[in-house]
Structure 1
Amino acid sequence: MTTHILGYPRIGAKRELKKACEQYWSGQIGIDDLLAVGAQIRKENWQLQKEAGIDLIPTNDFSFYDQVLDMSLTIGAIPKRFEEVANATTNPLDLYFAMARGYQKNGLDITAMEMTKWFDTNYHYLVPEFYKNQKFKLSHTKFLDEFKEAKAQGVNAKPVFIGPVSYLLLGKAKETGFEKLDLIDDLLSVYIDIFTELEKQGATWIQIDEPFLVMDLSEKERQIFERVYQTLADKFPALKFILTTYFEGLHKNASWVVKLPVEVLHLDLVRGFEQLDTVLNIVPDTLKLSLGVVDGRNIWKNDLQASKAILENAISKLGVERVLVAPSCSLLHVPFDLDNEPETTSLTSEIKNWLAFAKQKLTEVAVLSALVEEELPEEIQSFYNANKLAMDSKRNSELIHNEIVKVAVGAISEGDSHREASFETRQPLQHDALKLPLLPTTTIGSFPQTKEIRLLRSKLKKGEITEEAYNEAIGQEIEKSISWQEELGIDVLVHGEFERNDMVEYFGEQLSGFAFTKFGWVQSYGSRAVKPPIIYGDVSRPEPMTVAWTAFAQSLTDLPVKGMLTGPITILQWSFVRNDQDRETTANQIALAIREEVNDLERAGIKVIQIDEPAIREGLPLRKEAWKTYLDWAIKAFRISASGVGNQTQIHTHMCYSEFNDIIESIAAMDADVITIETSRSQMELLDAFVNFKYPNEIGPGVYDIHSPRVPNQTEMEFLIEKAAQLVPVKNLWVNPDCGLKTRGWKETNDALVEMVNAAKALRKKLEVVA
């Protein structure tokens, strides 16, 4: 049975790509050094897959920043504002990075492309920008270079591409008077050029990702899919196309998707297991099926016994030659290698025995292929037996279950998810208590995590400094940050989060039921990698997590200091979650833990508490029919976490890089007193959802993009604030960056916040007449 992988992590086992990219951006290394790091990562990835026994190995899945951005560069979909950059550089990567990060040199000041979540994952992609009558052309040959590179290394290469229809659906029309899909014919001609070049170089297999096939599609979209794939089949009768779908099942689309003229159709049987029987009953004799039975988005070992039964069922109907085995989706979403992880008090040998990272999943795919053979080699039988023991261990472990937590969740009442009074009643009480000016300024929570701060945490973990010395140093950083914010003129301060590693990991480390890795990095966007905690058991809060540092910061100033927490849905979404319990139950467990923390902060005199929920939109099911069920329990979990405080305590929440139009009623139902959102990259476009809905509570639309190193000026921010003031009542408007400042440097942070505060002050007198 043929094995293949849809994609592999590209950041390197120890985040080599992150370090190289950041060194290149800062001028510490040159382009040749950066390219060499990329080549080494690709070589190692391909070698791992060959050694594991993978038959078809992906190429063009490597990226220096984002695979969607790669496609935009390949087909010449360059936003018009970057034309001068394109003309000014002979190095395509400089244009590429400018599109991703913005450009502010050589007299040019250009904003980056918009970034948003990749379906319901925590990965971010750069949103393609489209114009009426736009023409595409083959502009970059990365795909071809990497295919040749793989062939030279003896790799049975299978180039991977985002499909043409999904690529257009992922983008945004930047002009009116046309639809994105009107561009399909011109775009398809470039895909034909791409596949022609690959065929000339000896390509046999090509993987085309069309994740939108699991979405709700219009009749027009269906017809375009059918026309595109018939055209490709006619143009390339010798090429074997693997059409991949993932993150959901095909559902009603199955009846026509199975008729598309491709060699192989890939099904995600982790997220869409129920589709298998339907597809097996209607699959044409000419179509092969790739069955994604190994979870590409979570870190638990595969239940080989269960997966073997699935494969045998398909083989009994199709024959072994028509069944391929694969992960459910690209392994981009899981860490690199479990073998790198030491056993710790958190990641015990027992828990580690339940896990599989990308490298281990390669072995699982290969073993599953062997398990359907009549006679098993001894090493395969041994691996299979060990897997069964691991499954039994996980099911029966005492580490997983906490009866006190289960009782607490069962006792949640309707009243636990409602504030004492309505927002209309709370707002004047909060204004009287806080005495803030019009257009109050704040930041989202975190300040730059310098090398010195990271080194401090590292030394504490290694025992090289005492906890007392560490606390003294952190306290000094907080004191400096409070004084600095007062000097800047910011109205609601934060303590800076210098003691925190990651907004989810930090909380997980203080909650029961969580385990942590040392090298379990997963790409979030560009050079940004996160290390998701592992929720393996029932969750509770043994003791306060943030109260001491927040109360200390508040003792240094008469201005309000925000308590900074991560919300239950974001902790859930940005962790690797246990797969033996429904997500709603786990979310409620986390919500009760955060509720205890919120109440303790209020008792400590904290009047403003922010509960970040950037992942609410991300967790939305891909099909609308499942939205209500998810939103009901997700919004309730947030409200459980926030509703234990009095009317005068102001609850903030923060969301970023999400489209809110379809769920704005649910966002309002969260009943946060203030919501801060990302709007700068879209020039306040995302604010339209709140305006059209007449969002009743206070809003802080981000006035500058922290994910770009460029520093916007006061005039630019005044323009965005005034634009927001035309849409939102001024008395409900806050001024803030669009996200936390953890990844930025101190100079650019200071310079940008000076401009932001000056913009707010300049507009207060002008706008108070309409407040």
Structure 2
Amino acid sequence: MVSSSNLGFPRMGENRDLKKIVEAYWAGKVDEVEFSNTIKSIRAKHWTLQKETGINIIPSNDFSLYDHVLDHVLLFGAIPKRYEPVVESEVEDNSNGFRTYFAMARGYQTKKAASEVAATETEGAFATKVEKKIDVGSFEMKKWFDTNYHYMVPEFEAEQQFKLTNHAGYTAPKPVHEFLEAKALGIETRPVILGPISFLLLGKSADSNKPYTTKFDSLVHLEALVKVYEQLFEQLVAAGVKSVQIDEPVLCFDLLEDTTRADLIKNAFSVAYNRIHKVAPTVNILIATYFGEVRENIELITSLPINGVHIDRVRSSSAAFDAVLAKIPSTWTVSIGIIEGRNIWKNNLNNSIIVVKKAIDLFGSERVIVSPSCSLLHSPHSLAKEVGYVKAEVLDWLAFAVEKLKEIAFLAFVFNSCTVSVADNQVTNVESNNVRKVSKLIHNDTVKSRVNAVTPEMFKRINKYPVRRDAQRKRLTTLPDLFPTTTIGSFPQTQQVRVARQNYKSKKITAQEYDQFIRSEIKACVQLQEECGLDVLVHGEFERNDMVEYFGENLEGFVFTANGWVQSYGSRCVKPPIIYGDVHRPNPMTLEYTSFAQTLTAKPMKGMLTGPVTILQWSFVRDDQTRSQTCNQIALAIRDEVVDLETAGIAVVQIDEPAIREGLPLRHSDWNIYLEWAVNSFLLSSTGVKDSTQIHSHMCYSDFNDIFESIQNMDCDVLTIENSKSDLKLLKAFEKYGYTNEIGPGLYDIHSPRIPSVEDMKNRVEQMLKYLPANLLWVNPDCGLKTNNPVTVKHALVNMVKVAVELRAAFSKSE
């Protein structure tokens, strides 16, 4: 009998229930009892839904309040020493552990600490009863492989110790507790645990001054960590767990490429899994790989004492998948990731049946599991609320998480039953896929012709950067010679802004009333920036729901959902557009409000755009043509917008590309092809202007060091980049490669409720000056301010401008 399984379910809930209760808890609107009960009910609902949909193997421990990697940090007691004051404050307050967990996620600052860096107290969550000064930042945040999900990076000290720890309010370690919680509902689950090798390799040194010399050095902590895994598995066995899914996504990396490290990697896997097997010989262990091909790593996998492996068939070529199948022991269970977990198109069931049949012929039906390619964390919840909202023809082509579960259950059912309903479902599926192929909604000959007419000259600015810099300084006469200040673009979207947008969409207010409201918000935002003393201003983006969704709404070839939310990090959700057809721009998208904002100030007003690669990466993308073709269509649309802004007198235009690194393939051998078309798409979008127009770009929350030369090739006049969560490690790239254009490494973490002090930010600039000349350095936050508190934003920006003013004074005295 073929089994059906799921590797993980979206955490947020049908109506973003988790987001709402977490943010209510942060704001002090619900107590810990209500908080705990609500999140427990969300878990129960999701387990029950999967069971009722026909999934045989249901995951547990895939649920998280913020991030599953951070959950494992807490599970293994790997809490850095700087959080000890937070832990102590919880003991004194008789709290239950949520404060420490969220401090690692978001940072933590008591009111007493906040009052020392601001004129008034801030609205801080979890303020301690004892008025101590506690001010600690969050973990670094990084993209989860090549997805738009962000994980919190574990930190390991030189003499790192681990211990098995219970989460807040739990009576056992989280994987054990949630397994028993589901069991009490009559649902047998398969706990999901991040594997020891992936956990270590995804971490970093806790000493930012002494980073690991290679990405494998964290394996020195394997012995200490495996002891805790042994304790965990002993408790899982005692709880009655029959099978465990251990996620080792690093097995899709080039782990064995460095021959000097290959034996170290092999030994680490061998030690870890032999010891786990020894303490839990009765537990069926399935290693889950995803996001790419395992290729040569299958030899390593099959050397381990495990019972099965999950292979991402969606991200594997047919030849690569067949090669892997041929090497898997015939006694193992094989989980086939045949349903796309990261995109939203309906599965081609006929093609999938052929793939599953091939595995059954090799292993027998009892040893084959039909699964999604990866956790459904990356998919929206369900299509239930899209009926009547999404075009009916397009809706028929889609499948969200709940629908994907049904596809999984159906594929298993095909091989376990031969009924009329099976044939009917297959016929309906074939019809949907065939209609999509020839739909007139998809194809636009004019757009295709324009992309085909792109020439190499369209990927270049008129002159090199030094010539452009002179032209821009002559035009931007209000800019200071040193340390100009700006923000990344968005300002806080308050409840008032969100209500106004909703009222406009529901036709409770007219278009004219909404326009007047947006203009009043822009005016207030410009006034605030003038008061803070910023040099290059922004209009605040109050008309924009999301940096990608907004542009998609103004481009042809996109469709939008009512409830297609996906978790990006913590409680932050995004609603990715769906690119279903050829993309083009029917009308200007940002010109009206940017031009209006410029009339309110004599300082430069920065036009704010999202770049083509980021729009591509943060959308659900059509799968019937190459991603590079789609990206160039978007790039031409953005190019038109940039030229219109320049023509309207806007002297500074920012084209954000925070996602360019996340699109990088997991295998080094695949990098060059991607980087060539991704960089060219950005250049295509940005090079249609005169030398005197200053082009900015922004990037965040990724490892950029290994693609630094490609970033240089993007040839931005000014690059602002996230730097506050990553311990200044990006600056090492400047030391190695050099950088000739202007750059603004972020001075403070906008996702934290903390107010950064002048001293802290000034120290960061001083560190930057070791690698960058002062005349190239900008002063700015690390990301957009959309999700921040308006009071915190003002204090932070005032302090940031003070840093720039003090540095200018210091440098003028030294000359």
Scaled to the shorter chain, the TM-score interval is over 0.9
Q: In the alignment, is the contact (CA less than 8 A) between 1:293 and 1:327 conserved in 2? A: yes
> 3-state SS of the aligned residue for 1:289?
strand
Find out whether 1:72 has 2:73 as its counterpart: yes
Q: CA offset at residue 660 of structure 1?
A: 1.1
Which residue does the alignment assign to 2:461? 419
Which residue does the alignment assign to 1:138? 164
Partners of 2:455 and 2:266 in 1: CA distance: 45
Which residue does the alignment assign to 1:121? 147
Q: CA offset at residue 682 of structure 1?
A: 2.5
Q: CA offset at residue 634 of structure 1?
A: 0.1
> 3-state SS of the aligned residue for 1:159?
strand
Find out whether 1:334 has 2:379 as its counterpart: yes
Q: In the alignment, is the contact (CA less than 8 A) between 2:249 and 2:290 conserved in 1? A: yes
CA separation of 1:208 and 1:48: change in aligned 2, threshold 3 A: same
Partners of 2:576 and 2:403 in 1: CA distance: 18
Partners of 2:321 and 2:501 in 1: CA distance: 48
Q: In the alignment, is the contact (CA less than 8 A) between 2:557 and 2:581 conserved in 1? A: yes
Find out whether 1:350 has 2:350 as its counterpart: no
> 3-state SS of the aligned residue for 2:730?
helix
Q: In the alignment, is the contact (CA less than 8 A) between 2:204 and 2:211 conserved in 1? A: no
Partners of 1:371 and 1:639 in 2: CA distance: 49
Partners of 1:234 and 1:145 in 2: CA distance: 22
The one of 202, 209, 221 equivalent to 2:265 is: 221
Q: In the alignment, is the contact (CA less than 8 A) between 1:443 and 1:740 conserved in 2? A: yes
Q: In the alignment, is the contact (CA less than 8 A) between 2:4 and 2:55 conserved in 1? A: yes
Partners of 1:644 and 1:177 in 2: CA distance: 41
Q: In the alignment, is the contact (CA less than 8 A) between 1:132 and 1:177 conserved in 2? A: no
Q: CA offset at residue 381 of structure 1?
A: 2.6
> 3-state SS of the aligned residue for 1:718?
helix
Which residue does the alignment assign to 1:32? 33
The one of 692, 698, 705 equivalent to 1:661 is: 705
Q: CA offset at residue 770 of structure 1?
A: 7.0
Find out whether 1:534 has 2:566 as its counterpart: no
CA separation of 1:51 and 1:287: change in aligned 2, threshold 3 A: same
Partners of 2:663 and 2:745 in 1: CA distance: 22
Q: In the alignment, is the contact (CA less than 8 A) between 2:762 and 2:803 conserved in 1? A: yes
The 5-angstrom pairing of residues 12-411 of structure 1 reads 12-89=13-90, 90-105=95-110, 106-140=132-166, 141-175=173-207, 176=210, 179-217=217-255, 218-219=261-262, 220-274=264-318, 275-344=320-389, 347-373=390-416, 375-411=417-453
- Per the normalisation by structure 2, the TM-score is 0.93
Q: In the alignment, is the contact (CA less than 8 A) between 1:258 and 1:287 conserved in 2? A: no
Q: In the alignment, is the contact (CA less than 8 A) between 1:657 and 1:678 conserved in 2? A: yes
Q: In the alignment, is the contact (CA less than 8 A) between 1:259 and 1:284 conserved in 2? A: no
Q: CA offset at residue 67 of structure 1?
A: 0.2
The 5-angstrom pairing of residues 289-688 of structure 1 reads 289-344=334-389, 347-373=390-416, 375-435=417-477, 436-437=479-480, 438-688=482-732
Structure 2: which amino acid aligns with 1:189? K
Structure 1: which amino acid aligns with 2:242? T
> 3-state SS of the aligned residue for 2:244?
strand
Q: In the alignment, is the contact (CA less than 8 A) between 1:9 and 1:335 conserved in 2? A: yes
Q: In the alignment, is the contact (CA less than 8 A) between 2:22 and 2:35 conserved in 1? A: yes
Q: What are the Cα deviations for residues 334-390 of structure 1, in whole angstroms up to 9, with x where unaligned? A: 00011122323xx201000000000011110000001124x5233333222211111
Structure 1: which amino acid aligns with 2:37? A
Q: Percent identity?
A: 50
The 5-angstrom pairing of residues 1-12 of structure 1 reads 1-12=2-13
Q: What are the Cα deviations for residues 513-562 of structure 1, in whole angstroms up to 9, with x where unaligned? A: 00000110000000000000000000000010000100110111110000
The 5-angstrom pairing of residues 671-710 of structure 1 reads 671-710=715-754
Q: In the alignment, is the contact (CA less than 8 A) between 1:311 and 1:372 conserved in 2? A: no
Partners of 2:353 and 2:330 in 1: CA distance: 23
> 3-state SS of the aligned residue for 1:372?
helix
Q: CA offset at residue 137 of structure 1?
A: 0.6
Unaligned runs of 5+ in 1: none
**What is the aligned length?**
768
Q: CA offset at residue 768 of structure 1?
A: 4.0
What is the RMSD computed on CA atoms of the aligned residues? 1.2
Q: In the alignment, is the contact (CA less than 8 A) between 2:387 and 2:395 conserved in 1? A: no
Q: CA offset at residue 667 of structure 1?
A: 0.2
Q: In the alignment, is the contact (CA less than 8 A) between 2:613 and 2:659 conserved in 1? A: yes
Partners of 2:809 and 2:728 in 1: CA distance: 22
Structure 2: which amino acid aligns with 1:158? R
Q: In the alignment, is the contact (CA less than 8 A) between 1:55 and 1:156 conserved in 2? A: no
> 3-state SS of the aligned residue for 1:337?
coil
Structure 1: which amino acid aligns with 2:356? L
Partners of 1:163 and 1:649 in 2: CA distance: 49
> 3-state SS of the aligned residue for 1:282?
coil
> 3-state SS of the aligned residue for 2:471?
helix
> 3-state SS of the aligned residue for 1:743?
coil
Q: CA offset at residue 221 of structure 1?
A: 1.4
Q: What are the Cα deviations for residues 576-630 of structure 1, in whole angstroms up to 9, with x where unaligned? A: 0001111000000000000000000000000000000000000000010000000
Give runs of ≥4 in structure 1 deviating > 3 Å.
175-178, 768-771
Structure 1: which amino acid aligns with 2:107? G
Partners of 1:93 and 1:308 in 2: CA distance: 46
Q: What are the Cα deviations for residues 482-528 of structure 1, in whole angstroms up to 9, with x where unaligned? A: 11211211000000000000000000000000000011000000000
User: Which segment drifts farther, 173-182 or 651-660?
Assistant: 173-182
CA separation of 1:294 and 1:770: change in aligned 2, threshold 3 A: farther
User: Which segment drifts farther, 431-440 or 609-618?
Assistant: 431-440
User: Which segment drifts farther, 528-537 or 274-283?
Assistant: 274-283
Partners of 1:765 and 1:177 in 2: CA distance: 33
Partners of 2:459 and 2:401 in 1: CA distance: 39
Structure 2: which amino acid aligns with 1:108? I
Q: CA offset at residue 769 of structure 1?
A: 6.3
Q: In the alignment, is the contact (CA less than 8 A) between 1:343 and 1:352 conserved in 2? A: no
Q: CA offset at residue 177 of structure 1?
A: 8.9
Q: CA offset at residue 251 of structure 1?
A: 1.2
CA separation of 1:292 and 1:446: change in aligned 2, threshold 3 A: same
Q: In the alignment, is the contact (CA less than 8 A) between 1:129 and 1:172 conserved in 2? A: yes
Partners of 2:728 and 2:358 in 1: CA distance: 52
> 3-state SS of the aligned residue for 1:630?
helix
Q: In the alignment, is the contact (CA less than 8 A) between 1:535 and 1:575 conserved in 2? A: yes
Q: In the alignment, is the contact (CA less than 8 A) between 2:78 and 2:162 conserved in 1? A: yes
Q: CA offset at residue 223 of structure 1?
A: 2.3
> 3-state SS of the aligned residue for 2:428?
helix
User: Which segment drifts farther, 541-550 or 249-258?
Assistant: 249-258
Structure 2: which amino acid aligns with 1:96? Y
> 3-state SS of the aligned residue for 2:620?
coil
> 3-state SS of the aligned residue for 1:684?
coil
CA separation of 1:616 and 1:769: change in aligned 2, threshold 3 A: farther
- Per the normalisation by structure 1, the TM-score is 0.98
Partners of 2:341 and 2:330 in 1: CA distance: 28
Q: CA offset at residue 245 of structure 1?
A: 0.1
Partners of 2:268 and 2:483 in 1: CA distance: 48
